[in-house]
Amino acid sequence: ETGVTQSPTHLIKTRGQQVTLRCSSQSGHNTVSWYQQALGQGPQFIFQYYREEENGRGNFPPRFSGLQFPNYSSELNVNALELDDSALYLCASSPRLNTGELFFGEGSRLTVL
């Protein structure tokens, strides 16, 4: 059984650029969440997708957007990058809604210069 995989693992962007991060959910999982983890902090919820629709969002501006595809994989897009967007971006999948048992990937480390 393949777990949650994320790509790329590391990337460097400059301020003002746009970035797309990708996530393949675990087989059989139809729900995907994205989290941002700044250095030394716990992860913060960005949003959640279920059956290709966003159905929950944390306190992040609209320049953070996402997609979920029919195969349940997902993308996180961040426009107009700011220095404070430098963080580890974590994707988590789960087999159903309303469960607290999430399966996380290893994350994509974004550095904004």
Partner 1 sequence: DAKTTQPNSMESNEEEPVHLPCNHSTISGTDYIHWYRQLPSQGPEYVIHGLTSNVNNRMASLAIAEDRKSSTLILHRATLRDAAVYYCILRAPIQGAQKLVFGQGTRLTINP
SS (H, E, C) 63-99: CEEEEECCCCCEEEEECCCCHHHCEEEEEEEECCCCC
d(CA 110, CA 91) in angstroms, rounded, equals: 14
79 makes contact with partner 1 (CB under 8 A): no
d(CA 103, CA 28) in angstroms, rounded, equals: 12
Pairing assessment for the beta strands 31-37 and 53-57 based on DSSP bridges: unpaired
User: Which is nearer to partner 1, 59 or 71 (by Cβ)?
Assistant: 59
50 makes contact with partner 1 (CB under 8 A): yes
User: Which is nearer to partner 1, 52 or 106 (by Cβ)?
Assistant: 106
User: Which is nearer to partner 1, 3 or 13 (by Cβ)?
Assistant: 3
Among 19, 21, 78, 90, binds partner 1 (CB under 8 A): 90
Q: Which helix (H) or strand (E) holds 33?
A: strand 31-37
28 makes contact with partner 1 (CB under 8 A): no
38 makes contact with partner 1 (CB under 8 A): no
List interacting residues with partner 1 (CB under 8 A): 4, 31, 33, 35, 41-45, 48, 50, 55-56, 58, 90, 92, 94, 97-107
